[in-house]
Chain A
Amino acid sequence: MANRVCMGNEAIALGAISAGVSIVSGYPGTPSTEIIETLLNEKVSGINVQWSTNEKTALEVAAGAAYAGARSMVTMKQVGLNVAADPLMSLSYVGVQGGMVIVVADDPGPWSSQTEQDTRHFAKYANLPVFDPSSPEEAYEMVSAAFDLSEEFKLPVFLRPTTRVCHASATVNIESAPHPKPASGFEKKPDWIIFPALSYRKHGELEKKQKLISEKFSTLQFNRIFSGGRKGIAASGISYQYVREVIKEFGLDLTVLKVGTPYPLPLKLAEEFLSSVDSLLVVEELDPVLEEQLLLISAGKNKIFGKMTDNLPCNGEYSFELIKNAVLKFVGIEVEDPKLVDIPTLPIRPPVLCAGCPHRASFYAAKIASKNDEKMVYCGDIGCYTLGNAAPLNMVDTCLCMGAGITIAQGISLAEKGTKCIAFIGDSTFFHSGISGVINAVYQNANITIAVLDNHTTAMTGGQPHPGTGRTAMGMPAKPLYIEKILRACGVEHISKVNPFKYEETVDAFKKAIEHQGPSAVIAKAPCIALIKLPPLVRRINETCIGCLKCIKQLGCPAMSVGSNGKVVINETVCTECSLCSNVCPVGAIKKVDRNV
C-alpha cells in the first residue's frame, strides 16, 4: 500500500487494476477519458485495453469478455451511454459471468457536454446497481466493491463519477500488487441467447435481485448515517463533500445520510435515517433521484426539501456557496455573505480553435467557396471543430450529437428545396457513427456535401488513436482504414481529397463538391497541430501592414492580436506557419521568416 495523489479517473483505473480487471474498452469523452489513458500508461501485463469505435461496440466487447468470465470494464461519458443503450438494456436481463463495471462519467455544468443527463436514471431504468463516488479515494474503493457485487449478482454494475470527482485529485491509498484475474472461459448455455421466454423469466429474477442488493447496500461502508440533531441532510456524490465543509465551517448539528449507492437505495438505512429526523434537505446534483425515493419511503412522515420544493436547482454544477445558502436557509441561520470586491469588466475567454488548426483552413475555404449561396446551411458535429461556430468563422449552424451532422443535413435539404448543406465531421466521429449517415445519403440520393475534417486523431479529448490511425490504443500497429475507400464503398462518387492549407485547391474542391448534384465529399486531411513539431519557420507581419485587420476579422487565429500601433502582431511562440493568414492579407504583409531571426 502506498499513498499517491491521484486524479479521480486515475483512481478508477488503479482501482480496476487492483480488482483484477483484464479487459477494458471505451470511447474517449470528457470527463471520462483519463481512465483508459491511465490504464495504458500503467502497462500492466495481462490487461488488454482498447479504444473501441464507439460506446456501443465498447460495451459489447466488455460484455463478451464478462460472458467468458473475465473481469471487464467499459468507460464513456454520459451521452455515450445513449449510444450504448441498446446492448445495455438487454444485458441487464442476460447478465454476466465475470464481473463487469460500466463507468459512465456525468458532467454537471455542463463543462464539455451536450446534456446534463443523469446516469443514475439509466441505472434505475435498466434495473442495475449504481455507485456514486463523492471523492477520488472513494471511487478507488468503489471499483473493487462494484466488481465483487457484479460477480455476486451476475449483473453489470455502474460506477457514475461526475466531473468534480473525475478531474479532482486526492491522496489515495493504492494497493501495490496488480493481479489480473484469468477468465474462466465461455460456457455454452441457453441463458446467453435472449428470447422472449427467457426475457420474461430474467425480468422477474432481476426485480427480485433489486431487493437483495438494497439490503446489502444498507450495510455497505459507502452508505452511512452521521448522527446529529432532528434536522437532517441526505447527500450523494460530490455534494456530500460540499455538505461536509459547510457543516464544519458553520458548526451545524445535523444528521447526515451519505448515500454512495443511489440505486437501489439502501432501504433499511434510509428508513433508519428518516425515523431519526423530522425534516431533511436532499442535496444531489442534477435530477432528484435520491429525493424521489426518499419521498416515497417517507410517505409524508417527514418534511422533505430539495429540488421539488425549489430549494435547489436541477441544472448546473453545485458549489460550496449554493449548498451553503440552501443548508443555512434550511436550518434557519442567517449569515452575511462574504464581502466581494469590485473587479473591472473581464473579457469572455471562450475556447477557440488552436493557432494553425487545419479545421480553420477547411472552414475558411468552405466559406469562400459557398459565399454566393446565402441559403447554405453548415451542419456541424461533435469535436474540436464544433468551435468553428464562433465568430469570425460562423461555420456551424447545427450541432446535435455524435454523427448527426450528415443526417441532419439530409433532413434540411429535403424539407427546404434548393438549400444545400455541408456536413462537417471529424475522422474519429466519422468512424464512431458517421458512416451509417453516409449510406443513407447515398441510398436517398441526398443533395449534400460531406466534409470530413481528417486530422488523424481524436483531438478534443487529447489525441486518442482510432481505426484510421493505423495503431491501437496499446501502441500496436493496426490495419488503417481509409476514409476515402469507405466513402467510395458506401457509394459516394464525387470525392476530392485536399490538404486544407493548400488554399486555392481546397476552395476549388469545395466549389465543385457543392455544384455536384447528389451526395459529394471533400476529405480535408492535415494532422492536428498537437501531433506535429513546430516548424523552424513562422509567419511575421512586415511594415507594409495597413492595419485593416482583415486577417483577424476573417480567421480569428489566436496567434494574432492588434499591436499598440494598430498593426497586427503574430505571437511567434504559437504560430505554426500554417500560412492561412497570408492568403487573406490584401497587401501581402505576412511573410515566412526563420523563427530564430
Chain B
Amino acid sequence: MFSSIVIAGVGGQGTLLASKILSEAAQKRGLFVRTSETIGMAQRGGSVSSHLRIGSEDVSPVIPLRHADVLIGFELAEAARQLNRLKPDASAVVNVDCIVPINVALRQGEYLCDDYLSALKKNIGKGFYINAAPLAIEAGDARTLNIVLLGFSVGAGILPFNEQEIREAMECCIKPKLLEINKKAFLLGAEAARNQI
C-alpha cells in the first residue's frame, strides 16, 4: 500500500496533531511513514499543510503536484488551495467553515466562499462536505475540530485506516486528560459521516 495524504488548514486549527495521529496509525501497522509539516511563523494564523506519505521509503517528504490520494481540508479556502496537489481521482473531506483572513476585511484581497466550494465539488470526484465546528462544540471543546474531521474521514472511508486503528493512535498522541473529550469528538465525526453516506 502507498498513500499520500494532505491535510490543510489555518495555523492553530490542529492539523499537526491530526497528521501525528495518522503517522502513528501507519507506524502501528508497520508501514514506513514520511511527513512534512509547516512549523514556525506560519503557525500564527497563516496557511498550513501537513503532507503524509505512507508505505514507501524512497519518496520525498513533500507530495508532488497531482500526487495526493486524499485531502482533509480544515477550512474551505485552504482546501481549495490544495486542489492541484490532488490526483484527478483523489477523495476528500472538507470542513465548509470559512475563516476570512483579516486582510480581506481590510479590503486587501477577496474571499470567494461559493467559488471555492464549487471548484472543490467540480474537481474532486469523491468529496464529502461537513460543518465540523458544531460537532466539536457538542463534544465539549471547539478545539476538537481536528478530531471530528479525522472521525468523519474514517467514517467516510477515505483513509487507509479503520476506526479502531485511529482510536489506538489517538491514545498515544493525546494527553490522558484530554482523551475522553477527543474520543467523543471522533465518534461524533464518524457518526456524522455514516449518516451522510
Contacts and interface: CB of A to CB of B under 8 A. Distances in A.
Interface residues on B, range: 35 or more
A454 to B, nearest CB: 19
Contacts of B108: 348, 391
B67 to A, nearest CB: 8
Contact of B100 (A5, A171, A561): A561
Interface in A348-393: 348-354, 384, 387, 390-392
Interface in A99-117: 111-112
A272 interface: no
Nearest to B23: A5
B34 interface: yes
A340 B84 contact: yes
Nearest to B87: A338
A445 interface: no
A342 B83 CA distance: 9
Given A5-B27, A168-B34, A346-B80, A351 B59 contact: no
B33 A552 contact: no
Contacts of B196: none
Contact of B103 (A34, A164, A391, A460): A391
Interface residues of A, number: 60
Nearest to A355: B45
B157 interface: no
Contact of A341 (B11, B39, B123): B123
Contacts of A549: 105
B40 interface: yes
A375 B23 CA distance: 53
B65 A338 contact: yes
A242 interface: yes
B32 interface: yes
Given A112-B40, A169-B34, A343-B80, A4 B61 contact: no
A348 B116 contact: no
B42 interface: yes
A543 to B, nearest CB: 20
Contacts of B33: 5, 169-171
Contacts of B58: 244-245, 248
A345 B35 contact: no
Contact of B45 (A171, A339, A343, A349): A349
B101 A31 contact: no
A123 interface: no
Contacts of B37: 7, 167-169
Nearest to A344: B115
B174 interface: no
A329 interface: no
Given A30-B39, A562-B105, 14 more contacts: A30-B41, A31-B40, A111-B41, A167-B37, A168-B37, A169-B33, A169-B61, A319-B62, A341-B119, A343-B84, A347-B111, A349-B46, A352-B101, A574-B12
18 contacts: A111-B38, A167-B37, A170-B35, A241-B60, A248-B59, A343-B81, A343-B84, A343-B119, A346-B80, A348-B101, A349-B10, A349-B78, A350-B103, A351-B41, A391-B106, A556-B106, A561-B100, A573-B142
Interface of A: 3-5, 7, 30-31, 34, 111-112, 135, 164, 167-171, 238, 241-242, 244-245, 248, 319-321, 324, 338-354, 384, 387, 390-392, 460, 549, 552-553, 556-558, 560-562, 573-574
